[in-house]
Structure formats: C-alpha cells, structure tokens
Chain A
Amino acid sequence: MVVGRFIRGCHYSGFKQRVSYIVELDPAISLGYVLSILVLFLGIAVSVYMNSRRRGG
C-alpha cells in the first residue's frame, strides 16, 4: 500500500518521465556510474571488516 502510494506519487511528480531519460543513457555509460558507487561501498565494507578482523586478531 505504502509502495503503491509512493509509485503513484512518483508518477504524478514526473518521476516516470525522468526515469525514461536515465534509460536513454547508454547502459555502458550507466554501468560506469553504478560501478563507481558499488565499488566505493564495497571498499568501505571490506575496510571495516579488515579493520575489525585485525583488532580482533
């Protein structure tokens, strides 16, 4: 219900139309941006794990 309301809200606010422009961006380009964010968060997660393991060890 909440999700449905959110989607409808997004639709009315023009979100759907905006998404179409992201989709128009070549997937090879989008992949670069998505990979940047993923690698950054993965790097931070691995750093936290490595730091805690070193202290624990």
Chain B
Amino acid sequence: MIIVVQQPVPGGATSIDTIIIFAVLGATVAIGFVGHRASSTIAGYMFANRSLGPWLLSFSIMATYFSAASFLGGGGATYLYNLGFGAWLTAWHVIGVVALWLIVAGRLFDYISKARVMSIPELIEYRYGSFAARLIASSIIVALFTLYLSSVYKGGAVVIASQLRVDLQIALLLLAVPVVLYLVVGGMRAATVNNLFLGSMMLTAAVLAFYYIMSYVGGPLNGLKMLANTTVLGRYPGTLWLRMDGMGPPPAMEKNAVPLLIMSIAFSIGMAQVALPNLLIQFYAARDYRAIERGRLIGPILVALYAILMFSLGAFCHLIIDDKLQLQELAQLMKDTDWVIPKTISLIVQPAVKGFILATPVAASISTIALTVLTLTNTVTRDFIQPFIEIRRESTLVVIVKLVSAIFALIPVMLTLIENRLIVEIVGAAFGTVFACFVGPITIGLYWRRASREGAIASMIVGVVVGIAWYLYLYRTTWIYPTIPATILSLLAFTVLSIAKKRR
C-alpha cells in the first residue's frame, strides 16, 4: 500500500491533458448505463446475471487488482530500490496470477455454483458449517476493505489534484461521484465493462510509458550501461541498482536487509491475488466454465505484460530527471518515489499523450474502487442485513443494495480526509492482512478436506491481529513486511487446529 503526498508535476497539465482526465471520468459514467437494464434484480446488480465472458472477466480482475499504487508506487519503486525489486515484484505477480487462474478459479467456480452461495463469507459458512466464521469473515472484509479503499481514493485523488491544480477534497469528489453514479445505475455489469475500458487504458499507458522512457535512454541494455556509470545524489554509485543486495531504503541497507525486504514486499503484493475477496467474487459472475478456461490464457498474460512493462522503470528515470532536479528535490523524490513516473513522463512526453498516461492512475483507482465497493455491498447486504432482517420484495432489496453501494463508496472518502495517524498506519497494513486472513480458509480450504471450522476462525483472527500489530510495532525494526509473519502464523493456526480437530 502506498500513500501519496501531493507534489507539483513539472510542466503541469495543458488544457488537452485536463480534457482527457474529464473524458475518462465522463466515459465511465456513460459506460455505466450499459448495465442499467441488468441491474433491476439482485442477481443482475451483484453478478451481472452471471454473464461475464473471458475478456470481461480477465480485464476486470486485472484492473481491480492494479490500483493507482501499481502505476505510481510500482512504477517508481526502483528509483529507490535496486532492480531486484522490479524483477521479483514481476516474478511474484506472474506466479500469483498463474496460481489464481490455474489453481483457484476453476475450483472456486465449481464450488460456488454447487453451493449456490452469493458472497465470500457465505462460502466460508457453507464450507465450514459455521455462522460465526461467516460473521468474522464479513467483519474483516468490511473493516479492512473500507480502510484499503481510502488509500486507493487518495492515490487517484492526489493525481487529479496535482494535474488540475485543485484541492484534495474536490479531487476526491471528482473521483467518487462517477463511481457512485455508475455503480448505482449499472452494478457489476457496469463495473466490469468499465474495467475492460480502464484496464485497456492502463495497459496502453504502460506500453507508452515503457516506450518513451526506454527510447530516451537508448533501450534497456544501454540504460543498464548508463546506470552502471552514473552516481546518484553524489554518493550512491549506479552499480548499486544492479545488485540485489545493493540500493534500498538506507536503514535497511545499514542492516543488510534489502534482499529480505524486497522479497517480503514482492511476495506479499504479488501473491495476494490468490485470496483477495474482491477478485474471487468475480468468478461467480462468469458465464460458464468455458469463460474460466479461456480466462486462464488471457488473465496471466495481462498481469504479466503490465508488470514487465511498469515495475522496473524507476531506476532508468535517474538517467532522465536527475540532472534536471535540485539536490533537495532529488532527495525528496528518493523518499517519495510515487512521483517519479509522473515527473519523468511530464518531462519527455508531448501533451495529449502525456495527459493519457497521467490519467492512468485515475483509471486504475476507479477500476479498483468499483469492484471493491461491490464486494463490500455484497458482504454488508448478504451477510449483515439479510440473515437478520427478512426482505421479501426484490425491488426493495435492490434499492437497499444500491443505497449500501453509495454509502460504502463514500465512507472511505471521509476516512481519507481524517488525518489520524492510527488510521493511516492501519490502512498501510490492510491490503496484505486481507491475504493473510483468507489464504487458509478460502484458497487452501477449497482443496483440503480436513480443514476445520476452528482452524478457519483462528486463521482469520491470527491473520488480522498479527498483520496490523506487526505493521505498527515491528515492521520498521525487522524490515520484514507484515504479511509474511501474519500469513505464516495464520496458516500455522489453520493447520494445527484442523489436524487437532480431526484427531479428536
């Protein structure tokens, strides 16, 4: 998770660049009406009447997974870290997406279709025969995804604020209003068709960013040669970017912990795909098993392409922007690498194309927000409202669901504006913690028959407690990303309690 601080982008946005950002926001609302007809029933609103083909499914999952952080943080990370970060972030993303489509997708589709469940917590109740497990899963999803969304909003809004030179509050509204509109009008159909549009835009922007940056440095190999012969900030030799134990955050370098830090972050982010409820729930909306089969070929290629193009660009940006920045600006950029790609693109790309590339973090934010809000809506109505309040008329339920969507699209906006340190810290841990909580009960539970109710409950509780506590108190001393200990301990609890239950 990356929290972005607003910085001016050199050159600023020309009127054509501004028009492009507004065009993207307007297009998402217009596309929202595509799903208008389907959204008059619950199955239509929440699951697009189970009509998604392989392209919609693959693009939607890719665009949901990659938020603005993938473009800003992922793209700029190797400005600070050595190229090992880009290489292994790419590798773990490819391993994660291949595992998602090959190991999880088909099994989950079969399981959900057989059980006829409509939410991930409901799946957990069906699998383990425990309503308590369902309530714990629902609470974790609502709490952590709401916090996670506030970081996604912030990532997109900061880019809008910087490009259009408006306040963060206005930028947040510019981002939230289209999402609320198209979600309320079109539900999942609108969100997935939009994700096809926004995902295509993200991939095109990744190709353009890679092309412009690599052309400027004379190609990747020439770039490596130049990087090896350069010195950054007057004290770091460029060869540090070519060694896995080389460049990284100075405190981690002092402790020789850079490779450990790189591997733990890359694993946590890349492998999260196999257990994130906002990705998994989309398989329920697949048209049939053939959509999953074809998605297995398309989905991994989309994620791999984006990762290969984006995640190693930051290091090469030293060769483009360093001599144009003051030493103080350069030091600041090394601390806040999210602005490396926007600054570089602003310097070397002509207007219009620049506007298109810089609108991409906004597109990436919207696509993630929409499907995550739908997952929250699904959980709140299906697991918190319906088990306790009987709603007989479907039309009433549809109105409630749309209202919940609007509310849960706006709550994270308010959280973003609260400058509370604890909230900011927990937001940082939210994404990885979701993975630690659900990888056992959902992903492994699909295959392991011995997995027990006690194991599933313990796994979710241990995951959330360790994930957040480690981030708050131990991350900056150990330099081990919290997802690693949280996942290890949550899987340990899951396995030990499941085996113990069987023996009894």
Contacts and interface: CB of A to CB of B under 8 A. Distances in A.
B349 interface: no
B244 interface: yes
Contact of A40 (B87, B94, B225, B242): B94
A33 B91 contact: yes
B437 to A, nearest CB: 26
Interface size class of A (residues with CB under 8 A): 20 to 34
A43 B98 contact: yes
B300 A44 contact: yes
A54 B293 CA distance: 9
A27 to B, nearest CB: 9
A46 B87 contact: no
Interface string B287-300: 00100010011001
Given A21-B221, A39-B98, A30 B87 contact: yes
Interface string B279-311: 000000000010001001100110010011000
| Chain B contact residues, majority secondary structure | helix
B98 A28 contact: no
A48 B93 CA distance: 20
Interface residues of B, number: 37
- Interface core residue of A31, A36, A50 (most chain B CB under 10 Å): A36
Contacts of A40: 94, 98, 300-301, 304
Contact of A47 (B82, B83, B243, B296): B296
Contacts of B304: 36, 40
A9 B232 CA distance: 36
Interface string B91-135: 101110110011000100000000000000000000000000000
Given A47-B296, A47-B297, A54-B293, A22 B221 contact: yes
A14 to B, nearest CB: 10
Contacts of A36: 87, 90-91, 93-94, 304, 307-308
Contacts of B244: 26, 28-29
A29 B84 contact: yes
Residue from the set A29, A30, A33 with the largest chain B CB neighbour count within 10 Å:
A29
Contact of B95 (A24, A25, A39): A39
A31 B87 contact: yes
A40 to B, nearest CB: 5
Contacts of B239: 24
A56 interface: no
B45 interface: no
B91 A39 contact: yes
A19 to B, nearest CB: 9
Contacts of B101: 43, 47
A39 to B, nearest CB: 5
A13 to B, nearest CB: 12
A35 interface: yes
A18 B242 contact: no
Contacts of B94: 35-36, 39-40, 43
B95 A29 contact: no
B501 to A, nearest CB: 32
B259 interface: yes
B224 A35 contact: no
Contacts of B293: 47, 50-51, 54
B83 A25 contact: yes
B253 to A, nearest CB: 15
Interface of A: 18, 21-22, 24-26, 28-33, 35-36, 39-40, 42-44, 46-48, 50-51, 54
Interface of B: 82-84, 86-88, 90-91, 93-95, 97-98, 101-102, 106, 221-222, 224-225, 228, 239, 242-246, 259, 289, 293, 296-297, 300-301, 304, 307-308
Which 4 residue pairs of A and B lie closest in terms of their CB atoms, listed nearest first?
A32-B87, A43-B98, A28-B244, A47-B296
Given A25-B242, A36-B94, A54-B293, 19 more contacts: A24-B239, A25-B83, A26-B242, A26-B243, A29-B82, A29-B84, A29-B87, A29-B243, A32-B88, A33-B91, A36-B90, A36-B91, A36-B308, A39-B95, A43-B296, A44-B297, A46-B102, A47-B296, A51-B293
